[in-house]
Amino acid sequence: MSKVAIVGVGISKFGNRKGVSLRELAFEAFKEAVEDAKIEKEEIQSVITACASDEFAMSLQPAAQIQDYLGLNPRPHFRTEAACASGSMAVRSGWMTIQSGLADIVLVNGVEKMTEVSTARATEIMGKGGDTLWEYPFGMSFPGYYAMLATNYLATYKDSERSDFAKVAVKNHYYGTLNPKAHMQKIVTEKQAMNGLMVAYPLRLHDCSLISDGAASVIMVSEKVAKRFEKPVWITGLGAGSETHDIGRRKSLTSLESACVAAEQAYKMAGITPKDVDVAVVHDCFTIAELIAYEDLGFCGRGEAPMLIRNKETYLGGRIPVNVDGGLKAKGHPVGATGVAMTAEIVKQLRGECGERQVKGAKIGLSHNVGGSGQFVAIHVYQV
């Protein structure tokens, strides 16, 4: 099997991007990625775009609009949809396109514009990511799903406390202040996080990620083309898993089986163990999700995630720095863009380009992207 490298990355500013259209957001990231790779857009042979929601995009064909605006017709292109994991599934699809021999240079885009609608409407749209027969009609929303995971975690692991969730928020908001692309660049104290507005018990305001606009792009190339580039970052492991759509039929509400399966696949393919990972970005749509990710990824044992955050093991300088870009919590969570932005962040970390939030000497990185409440999970391992 030949290797696939990432040679260019771009990330738009995340936030409430009033006056900027979906296609203009995509262009910001695309332009940066092409300039980073130092290629001409005419060299791109195939395009994949992640855009999770027709309702946010107000279009049945948002990828076609973006393809047209970027001036990439008549190249082949398609759109991926895997809820919040759409971006990582697009990266996976780019890897498969190159491995199949259909293309040597692939552009992967991820984009979402979520702030054109009210918070209530956004919550409603996202709620349809759950089971629309047995859950959504009865008022379930994503804060509700993750509140179920949080309450089960607290009940199962008696040493865990709600303050452990707050500590995740404190960490990720701090690193968000060091990331100029992050939506929220604001320090949050543990006291503020503990006393914020209750959203869905036990999750409060600062436990929840942001409704954001944003885009990210990566340029992926085959092994033979990668020889042209100075700092290729290789995708050495991929894993993907799925989980029951109906959350009531799951084996566990303190872990995502889909993530465990995906992690095992990715580690095996890359030939590494969790201890070899130098830096990770994980899907912290809610603070409990980051703690569960620590355990599902094997960074610690079951019930031990609170000790990692209490001891600052997931900070810079700790055993396994996690979400030092601010995570979804502070960077923002424009759904289709999230997974592609995760890939871009790890590439920049492995190239040593992250400034104050750089993990020194990082050689192996990991991204963990969850769709819905675990219905899709994609995990990638990257190496230099």
Do 135 and 98 have their domain in common?
no
Cβ(338)–Cβ(108) under 8 Å? no
Do 174 and 106 have their domain in common?
no
Place of tokens 């990231």: 29
Q: Could you read off the pLDDT of 318-346 as tens digits, one per residue? A: 999 999 999 999 999 999 999 999 999 99
The Cα angle at residue 16 between residues 314 and 68, in degrees rounded to 5: 105
The domain containing residue 49 runs over which residues? Answer: 4-117+212-233
**Residue 183 is a catalytic residue:** no
Do 173 and 186 have their domain in common?
yes
- The CB-side HSE value for 105 (13 A sphere, CA atoms) comes to 19
**Residue 84 is a catalytic residue:** yes
Do 72 and 141 have their domain in common?
no
C-alpha 32/C-alpha 10 separation (Å) is 5
Which residues in 165-197 are b (16+ Cβ under 10 Å) and which e? bbbbbbbbbbbbbbbebbbbbeebeeebbbebe
The secondary structure of 301-331 as a DSSP string is: -TT-HHHHHHTTTTSTTSSS-B-TT-HHHHH
Do 253 and 138 have their domain in common?
yes
Catalytic residue among 77, 173, 183, 333: 333
| Range in 129-138, 140-149, 326-335 with the lowest mean pLDDT | 129-138
Catalytic residue among 51, 84, 300, 354: 84
Helix (H, G, I), strand (E, B) or coil at 8: strand
- Of 250, 154, 259, 155, give the one whose Cα is nearest residue 207: 154
Task: Specify the pLDDT at position 123.
Answer: 87
**Phi and psi at residue 68, to the nearest 5°:** -65, -45
Do 135 and 280 have their domain in common?
yes
What percent of the chain has pLDDT above 90?
Answer: 90
Do 257 and 186 have their domain in common?
yes
Total domains, the chain: 2
Rg (CA), the chain: 19
pLDDT at 56 over 90: no
Domain CATH number, residue 96: 3.40.47.10
- Phi-psi bin for 366: left (phi > 0), alpha (psi -120 to 50), beta? beta
Task: Specify the pLDDT at position 129.
Answer: 85
* Pairing assessment for the beta strands 46-50 and 77-80 based on DSSP bridges: parallel
Helix (H, G, I), strand (E, B) or coil at 263: helix
CA distances from 207 to 67, 179, 355 (A): 36, 19, 27
Do 186 and 256 have their domain in common?
yes
Q: Could you read off the pLDDT of 12-35 as tens digits, one per residue? A: 999 999 999 999 999 999 999 999
Indicate the pLDDT class of residue 224, thresholds 50, 70 and 90. very high
Do 113 and 155 have their domain in common?
no
